[in-house]
Structure 1
């Protein structure tokens, strides 16, 4: 069981909001609502949320921009709601910093489970931990949940940090995208493009030349492998 949380649901469709809010409240969470991007940003400035459920297609400030601003304000996990089959929007949402997404029309029960998974992951990251792992000029401080490269803090989302920590802890092992979805995301199934986007974002932050990676490398026909520093 995940701990209960404060969740912000952002959607301009009243019917969708009512359904999502109802299911989350039944699960025991404290739920707040916002009908557009500006309302969402005001709510986040006023309260501390454990998860934000965010529709992409919002009037005024859209979901992409809201997600980018949320990332600049802190590390609150974001689940994006996207249109079924619209892969471009799903990828763009992940690029903007979303941790997860659910496609419309969706199962409210699945969404509640996705919220629970993000809360559980956040709890694992905040649990007491000790020690600093170093790999060349890369340093991962588990207690502070922080990574630095050559002494400079890396601005990582929660998922990016989880992915980096997992790979560095398991060097020289080739993992498929399905393996990483299960080990890092905790999903038994899902869209592999989620992993692809997060790997690309992580490379942009830890590789000197992201287009020619030497640390987080592709293993053709398999997936990805972390190459430790010599």
Structure 2
């Protein structure tokens, strides 16, 4: 997998727990006990994602999250206390991508890490291909009357929420990052975060049919023999 995660927490037991668990899952894990050590590790190597405790000695996690976001699009997951609702909101406003609440389940945290890294890689791929510009600070893609929020995984039309399954969200994200381009079924299968043998051409067709029922059907154009084209004009 090769992803490198930086765990920033002043509790050595929590750092050791996270390091052991994520290394077993194939991640490289770097530890830091405070902001000073975090910046030392951050500057000396590439970091894909930071798990950042809010309550740190010295500079607090919220301030660190804001500065991290100003330096690039590294993934940021805040770790908060159970009753720190305001901190969660402020943290997201400062540029954090997600948060978990102590005590947290390692399995849930792993899912959040996988989803965030998948989304970051998908957005980066689209940027590299010059397909569409996405503001890393808000992660919102707008097209026609629709707004797709990548952080919250929500789709709305003129303010009204449209419920999407995980697979529907992933394919719609892939389409909206590559507007006016023909995407083959094979390529669409590669955009899903949990690729396995159960995902096939037929699965893609079924998901797109469901998207056509939930959104404007004309957004998804079948290009016979090639794949599908997303006909919306995505706003920069």
The residue number in structure 2 matching 1:98 is: 96
Whole-Å separation in 2 of the counterparts to 1:42 and 1:144: 35
Q: Normalized against structure 2, the TM-score is what? A: 0.60
Gaps of 5+ in 2: 147-155, 172-233
| Residue 126 (structure 1) aligned to one of 114, 117, 124 | 124
Whole-Å separation in 2 of the counterparts to 1:97 and 1:43: 20
C-alpha displacement of 1:43: 1.2
Alignment of 1:160-199 (within 5 A): 160-161=138-139, 164-165=140-141, 167-168=142-143, 171=146, 173-174=157-158, 179=163
C-alpha displacement of 1:84: 1.0
Q: Normalized against structure 1, the TM-score is what? A: 0.62
Q: Deviations over 1:161-220 (max 9, x none)?
A: 2xx22x32653824656848967699xxxxxxxxxxxxxxxxxxxxxxxxxxxxxxxxxx
The residue number in structure 2 matching 1:143 is: 130
Gaps of 5+ in 1: 131-141, 148-154, 187-227
Aligned residue pairs, count: 163
Tell me: CA distance 1:113–1:176, structure 2 relative to 1, closer, same or farther (3 Å).
farther
The residue number in structure 1 matching 2:217 is: none
Q: Deviations over 1:131-180 (max 9, x none)?
A: xxxxxxxxxxx727635xxxxxxx642xx22xx22x32653824656848
Alignment of 1:14-93 (within 5 A): 14-93=12-91
RMSD of the TM alignment (CA)?
Answer: 3.0
C-alpha displacement of 1:126: 2.2
Secondary structure at the residue paired with 2:157?
Answer: coil
Whole-Å separation in 2 of the counterparts to 1:107 and 1:76: 23
